[in-house]
Structure 1
Amino acid sequence: IPILMGLFAAGGTIYGMAEESLPFYTLLVPVMMAARFDPVVAAATVLLGAGIGTLGSTINPFATVIAANAAGIPFTDGILLRLAILAIGWLICVAYVMRYARKVRADQSQSIVYDQYESNKKHFLGDHDETQTLAFTTTRKVILGIFAAAFAVMIYGVSSLGWWMAEISAVFLGAAIIIGLIARMSEEEITTSFIDGARDLLGVALIIGIARGIVVIMDKGMITDTILNSAEGMVTGLSSFVFINVMYWLEVLLSFLVPSSSGLAVLTMPIMAPLADFANVGRELVVTAYQSASGVVNLVTPTSGVVMGGLAIARVPYVKWIKWVAPLLGILTIMIMVMLSVGVML
């Protein structure tokens, strides 16, 4: 769990891993359940791992770089504070997930989705029998290698070649066809398996579409602009310590309305960054406050297709996720506010 969360955090801090994390839910949930954990552990490993990386972005072009450019400063300004937030936040998240994972592994009734235990086991593990071992043949080794290579190609394409959903979909579709041929599946078996998989993700697609629709309404109705105009007046004339913490909470509010980190940066930084000059606060702290607030909110916001889609794939009800992760959000928020306050003194 710490290793996987570290890898996802690296993706988050380097290139803002978000939508690219969705395929990993399908992979990790069965593995975690076979290891006597539950879907919440799998979802938390991916969502909190990538999320804490985005929260503590260092060179993320979709958050830190865009926000720094909009604020008129080099993106490397304030990087040490962001590294500290990333490291401390990762330790907090790992400890939180590990504590819960140990409880579930010792007693399945401690799972917050225990009422779905049998249905989840049937859905994710099928006829898996722990007493039986599956022969690791050469064919299966090749298939596993192609499967892993598809993820490697996806990560490289997104981080270096500017790929997005169309290219990612093509990679996995191509890998699926190649794997089907290597496994000597008939044309009917390949197409049937594909349709069954697509059927499982239909609900996820609908949830993502609805979440995106809320953002469109907020934008087209100019509701976000109205709130931003009011926020500008709230931070004017505050002391340095109060300013940076009020700024953090304003960005938290705006993050619910604008789940896109790049969209929020372009929207708020040209207005909020210059106000920091009058409060004797470095603009790099405003960038850190923005990305930290966005990172915290994007662990739970219902307007994020990544959050709602990931939880839907893992079959973790949104309300139960909120109740489970709420204490962690409080701990992370206190840590961030302390770090921002320390940053004012440096």
Structure 2
Amino acid sequence: MTDSASTPAGAPKKWYRSVPDPMVLIFMILVATYLLTFVIPAGEFERVAQNGRTVVVPGSFTYLSDIAPIVPFDIFVAIPRGLINAAQYLFIVFIAGGLFHILQKTGALENAIGVAVNRVGVERRNLIITVGTFIYGFFGVAVGYENNIALVPIAVLIASAIGCSSLVGTTMAVGGIGVGFALSPINPYTVGVAQGIAELPTFSGAWLRTLLLLCALSLLSVYICKRVVKMSFRESPNAERMSRPLSEYSLSGRNLATLIAFVGGLGIMLFGVFTRGWYINEIAAMFLLMAIVIGALNGLSANGIAKQMVEGASSVTAGALVIGLAASIQVILNDASIIDTIVNALSGLLDGVPPMLSAIMASVLQGVINLFVPSGSGQALVTMPILIPVADLVGMSRQLMITSFQIGDGLTNLIIPTSGGMLAMIALGRVTYEQWLKAILPFMGLVYLLSWAGLVLGHLVGY
């Protein structure tokens, strides 16, 4: 469903039409972060190596007096530095954009989706959305967050096949992946690291996280079907779309070879992720190799592959630059040395709070901290050595504190501008940051209420 008409003269302007451009919005956050450096003093925790990891020493926080103040010009210097720091995210967006541009030109993916949806039936749209949401949720659980970047355009094509906007496909993919990652019972980056610090068996207490995961994915499916499908949305001219009626789609031998190469490439990528420790750079390299193989299978010359890659990359340039601009926020925070000060102040808010309320407050605090430390494992290493003793003091179980951390860290990845993975995925979905916020924020309120109810249940049953 699109909204390409302009607002009638004299009619009240809808709030989302006055939201600043994503780059303007993130630059405003960057300036606000700079102003915080004059209010929040610099400080740091002592850190020690433990079992091959660097962890924080609880109670070791000290203020620093030798940090040079950041001058206004540093705001602008932080932007190219942020682009450099976020280079791996920028390049995977460019390369994935090129890969899917080639796939789109071959017609293989579109034909496969057209044939599949035609067989299931467009009238079963809600079923397709629900199954798609759970499949993407499974990928978030089993594969991770950023590792699924390349799968977003597939959801957009599926949404187009059932007569929905790119926003529906992007919400199905990014929302499903985000919820799956956030509430995964087997997340090695958050649960695994945090339970190691808390001296708990790895992935213990999975039943509550599994229950929350299934409920949250069900909630997301209903939310997409009931709200996102009906939302007005201005489509990008570069959005993935079905080009003809479903009844006209069929698969050729070359299409099948192309799909085998694509799925095989994804399989090799997952093998590398799970057995060789592959991450963004290796995944981007695999996407590049897949683009070359698929291009060659479809008769493209070397020059033709290069041309298609450049065209695909150019269509996602705006989204990629937003990622780099958002990374400059972290540059300012690091230069001012105020991240540890913020963590120390927030963790102190839990002192003397009843356990049930502490669990909810901890999830909120972890969400705030995630804006400044947008790494699940990094956040666990910084906050868990502090908050695990706090949990012991207030009478909260360590398992419940870890689940609070997981909820706060994971769910906010869907909205914070410092989440490079989220920005990369919505860029590939051709959805702008303000469009994404408009779609996902009401769901965030609902899923937080659901998660808090789960934390209360966990406390009541002695989780």
Check whether TM > 0.5. Answer: yes
**Quick check: 1:78–1:288 contact (8 Å CA) kept in 2?**
no
Residue ranges of structure 2 left out of the alignment (5+ in a row): 1-128
The residue that corresponds to 1:33 in the other structure is 160
- The question of 1:84 aligning with 2:211 is answered yes
When residues 339 and 190 of structure 1 are mapped into structure 2, their CA distance, relative to the original with a 3 A threshold, is same
**Quick check: 2:363–2:409 contact (8 Å CA) kept in 1?**
no
The residue that corresponds to 1:55 in the other structure is 182
**How far does residue 123 in structure 1 lie from its aligned partner after superposition?**
4.3
**How far does residue 37 in structure 1 lie from its aligned partner after superposition?**
0.8
**How far does residue 233 in structure 1 lie from its aligned partner after superposition?**
2.1
Whole-Å Cα distance in 2 between the matches of residues 323 and 191 of structure 1? 36
Q: Secondary structure at the match of 1:139?
A: helix
Q: Which one is further off, 89-98 or 207-216?
A: 207-216
The aligned runs of 1:244-323 (5 Å cut-off) are: 244-323=359-438
CA offset digits 1:136-174 (Å, max 9, x no partner):
221121112111221222222212321112221222222
The residue that corresponds to 2:326 in the other structure is 211
Whole-Å Cα distance in 2 between the matches of residues 314 and 11 of structure 1? 17
Q: RMSD in angstroms over aligned alpha carbons?
A: 2.0
**Quick check: 2:351–2:390 contact (8 Å CA) kept in 1?**
yes
Whole-Å Cα distance in 2 between the matches of residues 253 and 87 of structure 1? 25
The aligned runs of 1:187-202 (5 Å cut-off) are: 187-202=302-317
Whole-Å Cα distance in 1 between the matches of residues 287 and 204 of structure 2? 38
When residues 156 and 112 of structure 1 are mapped into structure 2, their CA distance, relative to the original with a 3 A threshold, is farther
When residues 141 and 13 of structure 1 are mapped into structure 2, their CA distance, relative to the original with a 3 A threshold, is closer
Residue ranges of structure 1 left out of the alignment (5+ in a row): 105-109
CA offset digits 1:11-53 (Å, max 9, x no partner):
32234x2112221123332332233111111111111111111
The residue that corresponds to 1:107 in the other structure is none
- Structure 2 counterpart of 1:124, from 227, 232, 240: 240
When residues 160 and 339 of structure 1 are mapped into structure 2, their CA distance, relative to the original with a 3 A threshold, is same
- The question of 1:185 aligning with 2:300 is answered yes
Whole-Å Cα distance in 2 between the matches of residues 261 and 296 of structure 1? 11
- The question of 1:157 aligning with 2:272 is answered yes
Whole-Å Cα distance in 1 between the matches of residues 274 and 133 of structure 2? 18
When residues 135 and 75 of structure 1 are mapped into structure 2, their CA distance, relative to the original with a 3 A threshold, is closer
When residues 77 and 187 of structure 1 are mapped into structure 2, their CA distance, relative to the original with a 3 A threshold, is closer
The residue that corresponds to 2:134 in the other structure is 6
Whole-Å Cα distance in 2 between the matches of residues 55 and 61 of structure 1? 11
How much identity, in percent, do the aligned residues show?
Answer: 28
Q: Which has the larger radius of gyration?
A: 2
Whole-Å Cα distance in 1 between the matches of residues 364 and 227 of structure 2? 28
Whole-Å Cα distance in 2 between the matches of residues 22 and 131 of structure 1? 27
The residue that corresponds to 2:85 in the other structure is none
- Structure 2 counterpart of 1:112, from 216, 219, 232: 232
**Quick check: 1:54–1:291 contact (8 Å CA) kept in 2?**
no
Whole-Å Cα distance in 2 between the matches of residues 131 and 234 of structure 1? 56
- The question of 1:73 aligning with 2:189 is answered no
When residues 100 and 152 of structure 1 are mapped into structure 2, their CA distance, relative to the original with a 3 A threshold, is farther
Q: TM-score, normalised by structure 1?
A: 0.89
Q: TM-score, normalised by structure 2?
A: 0.68
Q: Which one is further off, 226-235 or 208-217?
A: 208-217
Matched to 1:24, the amino acid is L
**Quick check: 1:55–1:291 contact (8 Å CA) kept in 2?**
yes
Bigger fraction of residues in helix = 1
When residues 191 and 170 of structure 1 are mapped into structure 2, their CA distance, relative to the original with a 3 A threshold, is same
The residue that corresponds to 1:328 in the other structure is 443
